[in-house]
Structure 1
Amino acid sequence: MKKFIILLFLMISGAVFSQVAIGASPENNNRWTFGGGIGVGFGSNSAFNLSASPRVGYRLTNDLEAGVLGSVSWQTSDYYRSTLFGVGPFVNYYFARSFYVGANLQQYFINYKDKYYDYKINEQETALYLGGGYMQRIGNNSFMQIGVMYNVLYKENSSFLSSGLIPNIGFVVGL
């Protein structure tokens, strides 16, 4: 049975890779992009943060990309523990070969627990990020994106998020 499954996977992968036309520009065939970013943070009072933000995109044109991105963040310290999940669509427009502007709508699901007061929060928050940045090619189909986004729905006194301004560094691979 194992030999049959391995042979089946080899035939399927051969069929998938054979779909690229000979002599065609790779940019016409490779419209899917994958990427994201990861982060680790440390702070006072034994604070620790681990986050990941995967993304999947599809190039609608050579300059316009749309897709879905997610985010997950775990935070803990001597005083609290929180988990934040986010998911939503994004769109990026690339211009002048190295720059982009973009928008992304995130729906966050927040779980927060204060360790001393036995206080718990389970809520949702919507964020609409607008911004842009710089894109640098770092390989054949690999890119690094450096930019800044601002949550236009951020309200200082009522938002669970710490700030409306979000700097970002991410990596994208086109397939």
Structure 2
Amino acid sequence: MKKIISFCLVFASMFAFSQIGISQTGSSNRWTYGGGLGVGFGSNSSFNIGVSPRVGYRLTEDFEAGLMGNFTYQTSNYYNSTMFGIGPFANYYFARNFYLGSTFQQYFVNYNIKQDNGYKFSTDESALYLGGGYMTRIGNGSYFQIGLMYNVLWKENKSIFSSGLMPSVGFVVGL
């Protein structure tokens, strides 16, 4: 099971995020929108797809808060699962090249183990990710973003995830 969750985390970390926000020209639109989409294939006829939308509001020029969610579906010869998560986030941007972030997610997971006569079970887990990263400008108001978050609520052998670390890679437009 931990291999499956590890694969899911690596897959999820490879999502490219695109965010649309207010520009530096003083636009009065303070809403930001974005998200990610990912598809993966692997051995044992495995397939997964994930969607992670987000909406935020710029409280100041450097601070935004909002709500984000995610949905992941996975299947293989041995199992299938769905995972849904939702919760608030906050990001603080400084020096136009760095950011600090926090995200709380409540995950709801349903598993169907095909080998055990269709054994099904559900679980849920809370995660509080804290971290930050580096941004580099790639165009007019667009940034490439790379960072690392850590789930401070993660406990070994008591979590659906194999690690508390979550790398992130993405693009931000409109900061």
Q: Fold conserved (TM > 0.5)?
A: yes
Is 1:123 matched up with 2:138? no
Q: Letter of the aligned partner of 2:125 in structure 1?
A: E
Say which SS state the counterpart of residue 26 (structure 2) adopts. helix
Q: How many residues align?
A: 151
Question: Whole-Å Cα distance in 2 between the matches of residues 27 and 140 of structure 1?
Answer: 15
Q: Letter of the aligned partner of 1:47 in structure 2?
A: S
Matched residue, 2:31: 32
The runs of 5 or more residues in structure 2 that have no matched partner are 1-23
Q: Is contact 1:31–1:174 with CA below 8 Å preserved after alignment?
A: no
Identity level (%): 66
**Greater Rg, structure 1 or structure 2?**
1
Q: Is contact 1:33–1:172 with CA below 8 Å preserved after alignment?
A: no
Computed over aligned residues only, the root mean square deviation of the Cα atoms, in angstroms, reads 1.8
The runs of 5 or more residues in structure 1 that have no matched partner are 1-24
Question: Whole-Å Cα distance in 1 between the matches of residues 122 and 76 of structure 2?
Answer: 18
The Cα shift of 1:171 comes to: 3.2
What TM-score results when the alignment is normalised by the length of structure 2?
A: 0.78
Matched residue, 1:74: 73
Matched residue, 1:170: 170
Question: Whole-Å Cα distance in 2 between the matches of residues 67 and 144 of structure 1?
Answer: 20
Cα distance, 1:138–1:31 mapped onto 2, change above 3 Å: farther
Matched residue, 2:149: 149
The Cα shift of 1:149 comes to: 0.9
Say which SS state the counterpart of residue 27 (structure 1) adopts. coil
Question: Whole-Å Cα distance in 1 between the matches of residues 32 and 137 of structure 2?
Answer: 14
Say which SS state the counterpart of residue 135 (structure 2) adopts. strand
Structure showing greater relative contact order (alpha-carbon pairs closer than 8 Å, 6 or more residues apart): 2
Question: Whole-Å Cα distance in 1 between the matches of residues 136 and 97 of structure 2?
Answer: 6
The Cα shift of 1:28 comes to: 4.6
Question: Whole-Å Cα distance in 1 between the matches of residues 50 and 150 of structure 2?
Answer: 19
Moved more, 25-34 or 110-119: 25-34
The Cα shift of 1:141 comes to: 4.0
Matched residue, 2:88: 89
Cα distance, 1:137–1:168 mapped onto 2, change above 3 Å: same
The Cα shift of 1:94 comes to: 0.6
Say which SS state the counterpart of residue 116 (structure 1) adopts. helix
Question: Whole-Å Cα distance in 1 between the matches of residues 174 and 162 of structure 2?
Answer: 32
Question: Whole-Å Cα distance in 1 between the matches of residues 157 and 85 of structure 2?
Answer: 21
Question: Whole-Å Cα distance in 2 between the matches of residues 38 and 66 of structure 1?
Answer: 21
The Cα shift of 1:38 comes to: 2.0
Is 1:65 matched up with 2:64? yes
Say which SS state the counterpart of residue 97 (structure 1) adopts. coil
Q: Is contact 1:35–1:170 with CA below 8 Å preserved after alignment?
A: no
